[in-house]
Structure 1
Amino acid sequence: MNLKNKLRWIMAIVTTFLFAVAVGQSAKASTIDNSYALSSNQGSSLRTSNNVVIAHATAVYAPARNVAIFENRTWYSNGAYVQYIVGDGGKIYRVGAEGYQAWGAGSWANANAPVQIELAQTYDQAEFRKDYVTYVNLLRSSAVKYGIPTTVDSSAWRGV
């Protein structure tokens, strides 16, 4: 291997390391905004089995804050809400309570997912990058918290 190729490998390793550090710092810096969380007498009172973490997308180009407000306001009339919405430059908004069924993915998934997370859609590439890093880190940390595998295709009935 010539010197030029060795330098490329070293730069690739250093870049990967720096990216991993930046992702880790972003995850630590994330705080959860509880402004739109359902109260203790709202939402489902049914506990979940801890088998899956559900990853959603909002399917609308709207600020994550607006989605959280909408889910908080219409959780009962629409029969739909999740625990978290991620967007607006890496912010996390709580709606439902972890460990209790949310109404976002059908009866089996709702009963088996202690956490369901929606990623807000945006046309802004820089905002999306922040949102996506926060989203993936929240998915991962939620799975770890509930003992759910994070490996790809680990099981048909357990995972993200």
Structure 2
Amino acid sequence: MFIEKRIIQGPDRYKSESKIIVIHETANARSTIDNEVSNSNNNWATQYAYVNYFVDDKRVVQTFENGYQVWGAGPTANSKAYSQIEMVRVSKDKFPDQVKLLGQLVGKLSKDSGIPITWNVLNGITTHAELSRTYKEVNHYDPESYVAMQGWTLQQFYDEVIKAAKGENDDMDLTKLTGQCAVDALGVAWISNPGGAILYDEKKKPTDRVLPLGSPWAFHNTDDGMLSVGGLIDQKDALIKFNRGKTGGDYRGMTVKVITDDCYTQQQPKTGMPGVQKLPQGELYLVINQSEDKKYFDLGVNQWVDTSKLNIVL
């Protein structure tokens, strides 16, 4: 999940108790996420309202930092909220995707804050409606009517948000996942965090980039719980298959894929040898033997192949 950031600069920053994550809906059938974000950023001071996020069926836009009070659900709720999220209205056919994206965001916020993934108005996920009933400081009851308009029950909505937040509606069975990496790579990591994996720079400082749930990334080393994928990610955000040829030094019996259009067999496992037989790009082969330096494989054609022309299939 990629999070766009369009942070409001004007409001003061006051720390919240960070006990709840609040869900709203905009109640504007003609609006878009860009309209809502622009309106919030430009008019927060006169409307006396702004939140941390806007979500539609495809995008998440952050407009204020988490853990700071916003003007969204009344004084008591605002002081307790780690983050408040506005759902931008979408059509019925897009609503399931919006709920899934909302849940994935909730899962990320829960991980970052320690707030449990459960519906609880005091310590968990809640809605503007439940806060209105609890504290009686405002009389807004969203997103209940919006959910009903989509033909969903509130219980169905609650259940699906929880499933998405926990990643239960995503097929992340490692035995079913397949990927590729260079022969000398350490393995492949699939992003398993419902909120995606934050990409860190070489100094382990977070960047604005988030690798999406389910995406595969080859990694070349591990360092103090971090994986190098062209940047660093937290190993806890991913499911991993190691390249046993790299880790154990024996590639025999592993499957490789030809990745270039100039892959030729040769009679000896050394550089400068003439090509004998061209292997089709995209074809799969089993490694029968390997050279001592692991730079050439015998793929069962009694010839040697340069491993830079191949990927390991995991």
The answer, yes or no, to whether TM exceeds 0.5 is yes
The Cα shift of 1:53 comes to: 0.5
Could you say what secondary structure the match of 1:144 adopts?
helix
The alignment yields a C-alpha RMSD, in angstroms, of 1.5
2:95 paired residue among 124, 128, 135: 128
1:48-67 matches, cutoff 5 A: 48-61=16-29, 62-67=31-36
Tell me the distance in 1 between the aligned counterparts of 2:68 and 2:17.
9
- If you compute each CA radius of gyration, which structure gives the higher value, 1 or 2? 2
Amino acid at match of 2:3: I
Q: Does residue 1:32 correspond to 2:3, yes or no?
A: yes
Deviation at 1:124?
4.8
**Alpha-carbon shift at residue 48 of structure 1 (Å):** 0.6
Counterparts of 1:4-153 in structure 2, within 5 Å, are 30-34=1-5, 36-39=6-9, 42-61=10-29, 62-87=31-56, 89-125=57-93, 127-153=94-120
Structure 1 residue 58: deviation in Å?
Answer: 1.1
Letter in 1 for 2:49: A
What is the TM-score of this pair, normalised by structure 2? 0.38
2:17 is aligned with what amino acid? Answer: S
Paired residues in the alignment total 124
CA contact (8 A) 1:32 1:94 kept: yes
CA contact (8 A) 1:44 1:102 kept: no
Distance 2:119 2:73 in 1: 20
Aligned to 1:159: 124
What residue identity is the alignment partner of 1:143?
A: S
* Moved beyond 3 Å, runs of 4+: none
Superimposed CA distance per residue, residues 23-67 of structure 1 (whole angstroms, 9 cap, x where no aligned partner): xxxxxxx21112x3212xx22311111110001111112111111
1:94-119 deviations in Å (ceiling 9; x for gaps): 11111111111111111111110111
Q: What SS does structure 1 have at the residue aligned with 2:98?
A: helix
**Counterparts of 1:91 and 1:116, CA distance in 2:** 16
**Percent identical across equivalent pairs?**
26
Higher percent of residues as helix? 1
| Aligned residue type for 1:60 | N
Aligned to 1:114, the other structure's residue is in SS state strand
**Letter in structure 2 aligned against 1:48:** S
3-state SS of paired residue (1:80): coil
Greater strand share, structure number? 2
Aligned to 1:8: none
For 2:115 and 2:47, the matched residues in 1 are separated by 29
Greater RCO (CA < 8 Å, at least 6 residues apart): 1
* DSSP-derived class of the 2:124 partner: coil
The unaligned stretches of length 5 or more in structure 1 are: 1-29
1:158 Cα shift? 0.7
SS of equivalent residue, structure 1 residue 150: coil
The residue identity in structure 1 corresponding to 2:67 is G
TM-score, scaled relative to structure 1: 0.72
